[in-house]
Amino acid sequence: MHSDVWIAGGGVICGIGNNLSECLTAFKHMEPGMAHMEYLHSIHRHTFPVVEVKAANETLAGWTGMSAKLSRTALLSRVAAEEAWQSTGLGDIRQYRVGFVSANTVGGMDKTEDFFADYLQDPSQGHLSQVVHHECGAITELVADAMGIRHHISTISTACSSGANALMYGARLIKNNLVDVVIAGGTDALTRFTLNGFNTLMILDQAACRPFDDTRTGLNLGEGAGYVVLVSDALAAEMPVGKTPWCRLSGYANANDAYHQTASSPDGTGNFLAMQGAMEMSGIKPEDISYINLHGTGTQNNDVAEGSAIARLFAPHYPPASSTKSFTGHTLGASGGIEAVFSAWAVKEGIIYPNANFSKQMKELPFAPETRFSTGNKIQHVMSNSFGFGGNCSSLVFSKSAQS
């Protein structure tokens, strides 16, 4: 088995930028992406702010060479996956054993919703081509075909931990020498189904979300895609001149406390076990973590659970922590992939991201999130948390190489 899995590059598109560079500018200038809906058509347009990618499907299709009639979920995936691959400088993707492990939760539901709008008015109306890519795996296959990936294609759908679990699965493929490189992460587009579902749960905020703030009242939904390129030891050593891996994926763990269909256990049992397991795999202690990219959705339950688990694991010294969802919104199946890109880049560049809209520390917790963007920090290990419905909790640890 390979001893290390490396992050050779990454790509992201979300509501604060169409690529990683634009996202970093938004963080630096404290520009969260919450706004009224422009591309999603909903009766809640002026009620709930969302964080949409600032591009129509026709624009995304032009960037990718794919059809604008395809699901937005696939178009977003293609943009980020292509940026991730190009960032590595590895050249022709066909010369490697490549896997594509992509997470999502909505599949092609955006197009299915368009179909039913016509169909319910008249059962003889609606184009069946709109529903053919409805299921989650179809989105992965569309993008894999567009990129010429053939060796291994898998789809992960475990709610909000999906993107992080894609990285875990991709790392195992490399460690077991089934492939040399894996593009791993997630994608999700906004749909009326998810917006209405979260509204039914009564966890949407009508203002900009405030993760880990005592005044928080819910989350803002977002959309986007994020992928990292995982490579083996051998491929990491053969990267082109001028290209070096960002960092290592040194640890990961998944735990499920099965407390509730949607809520986390109040004391964050699954959260605690996932973070603890990821650090054990990395061979590090809590005091070695330099920064935590929090799951941080902004709901009452999630922030208390995650914060309580962090207090239990890290007390009495807490590393800097923040939720990038305060900028991107909660991108569901894409969140673990998007935040993996941000976390890996944080290791490479010594970045700590700010927590937007924070004003008052939670009374239940002994720590508060970071509120300032900073670079040049001495960062050795970054933890990224993704905790999903049903108690499916995952944590990743990104680490500098021993030579850094």
Distance between first and last Cα of the chain: 24
φ, ψ of residue 102 to 5 degrees: the values are -125, 135
Q: How far apart are CA 286 and CA 228, in angstroms?
A: 25
CA dist 225 and 18 (Å) reads 10
Task: Tell me which residue of 154, 139, 190, 203 sits closest to 332, measured CA to CA.
Answer: 190
**Residue 8 · residue 181 · CB < 8 Å:** yes
| Sign of the torsion angle spanned by Cα atoms 53, 342, 337, 395 | negative
| Residue-level length of the chain | 404
Are the C-beta atoms of 20 and 83 separated by less than 8 Å? yes
Distance CA 144, CA 311 (A): 41
Contact, 305 vs 257, CB < 8 A?
Answer: no
Instruction: Please give, one letter per residue, the 3-state secondary structure of 266-322.
Output: CCCHHHHHHHHHHHHHHCCCHHHCCEEECCCCCCHHHHHHHHHHHHHHHCCCCCCEE
**Which stretch of DSSP H or E encloses residue 249?**
strand 247-256
The helix or strand, by DSSP H or E, that contains position 380, with its residue range, turns out to be: none
Q: Give catalytic residues, as residue numbers.
A: 160, 295, 330
Strand residue runs (E) in 124-218: 152-156, 181-188
How many other β-carbons are positioned within 10 Å of the β-carbon of residue 360?
12
List Cβ neighbours of 189 (8 Å cut-off, separation of 6 or more).
71, 72, 73, 76, 106, 110, 223
Is residue 159 within 8 Å of residue 388, measured between CB atoms? yes
- Amino acid identity, position 20: L
Nearest to residue 9, comparing CAs of 278, 258, 324, 239? 239
Backbone phi, psi, residue 350, to 5°? 70, 40
Residue 85, classed as helix, strand or coil, is: helix
